[in-house]
Amino acid sequence: MNEQRYAGRVAVVTGAGSGIGQAVARQLAAEGAMVLACDIDAAGLASTVELIEKDGYTATTVTADITRQADVDALIDALPERRVDLLANVAGVMDHFLPVTELDDDTWEHVLAVNLTGPMRLCRAVLPLMRAQGSGAVVNVSSIGGLTGAVAGTAYVASKHGLIGLTRSIANLYAEDGIRANTVCPAGVETNIGRTAAPKVPWAYQRLEKSFGRTTRMAVPAEVSTLVCWLGSPEAVNVNGATITSDGGWTS
């Protein structure tokens, strides 16, 4: 790890109150970034800041719901400087493992709002700043569910496929502005995202457990954050539009 590769840089991290987002925020702070950590969970954000301060660093936090445009606007207004060098869209929710014939509108709309529309709004907000400064990086955390039709229900899989499409579009359309966009696709990670899934079908977790059998273990958040932080750094300057798995061979 290059402890100074983010010195003087501003990083926005969503979903920073737990799991992968928390690990990303901690690593970025340790590498010198001015971190703006966002989550809907105020208590989770407080825990993240406590960990960062114990590490000897600082971070700014904003409690925000990325499905609300007003909250996204407030997040941008809270930037420590009027620039963004890295946007890490990590926030996400699961669905109820429902196939499309059993999928209700509320579940569909909520999952798409958090997993796809929210990241789009964040990208839409920060890209003008990145264009003005002539550089920037976006790292969107999708899932292996964005590469296959398995792992979760229709809403989750569709949202994560869409996030990869959003990332590739940004990579293509803004490369000339010095902006890069890449996607990370984890498999099973030890986070609390399972709290957002309340299975409505009896075979939901059996299906998930069967998929887990393809890997030797669950990953820990720091193993994914290392990839996210590398992609956002100058060391990955030639990586743009990539979709990279961090799945222990799950999709092999």
Q: For residue 24, report the phi and psi dihedrals to the nearest 5 degrees.
A: -65, -45
Q: What are the C-alpha distances in Å from 234 to residues 136, 192, 229?
A: 10, 31, 10
233 is annotated as an active-site residue: no
Question: Residue 152 in contact with residue 97, Cβ under 8 Å?
Answer: yes
Catalytic pick among 6, 57, 142, 225: 142
Show the tokens assigned to 110. Answer: 């909520």
**How far from the centroid of its chain's Cα atoms is residue 84's Cα?**
16
User: How many Å apart are CA 161 and CA 90, to the nearest integer?
Assistant: 15
Question: Catalytic: which of 6, 18, 57, 156?
Answer: 156
Q: Residues 6, 160, 174, 225: which is the catalytic one?
A: 160
Residue 82 burial (CB < 10 Å; 0-12/13-18/19+)? exposed
- Asked about 156 being catalytic, the answer comes back as yes
d(CA 228, CA 2): 14
Burial of residue 89 (CB within 10 Å: 0-12, 13-18, 19+) is buried
Clarify whether 159 is annotated catalytic: no
With CA atoms as reference, report the closest residue to 14 among 145, 209, 163, 153: 163
Task: Please give the structure tokens belonging to residue 155.
Answer: 């809403």
Tokens coding 62: 């904003």
Residues marked as catalytic = 142, 156, 160
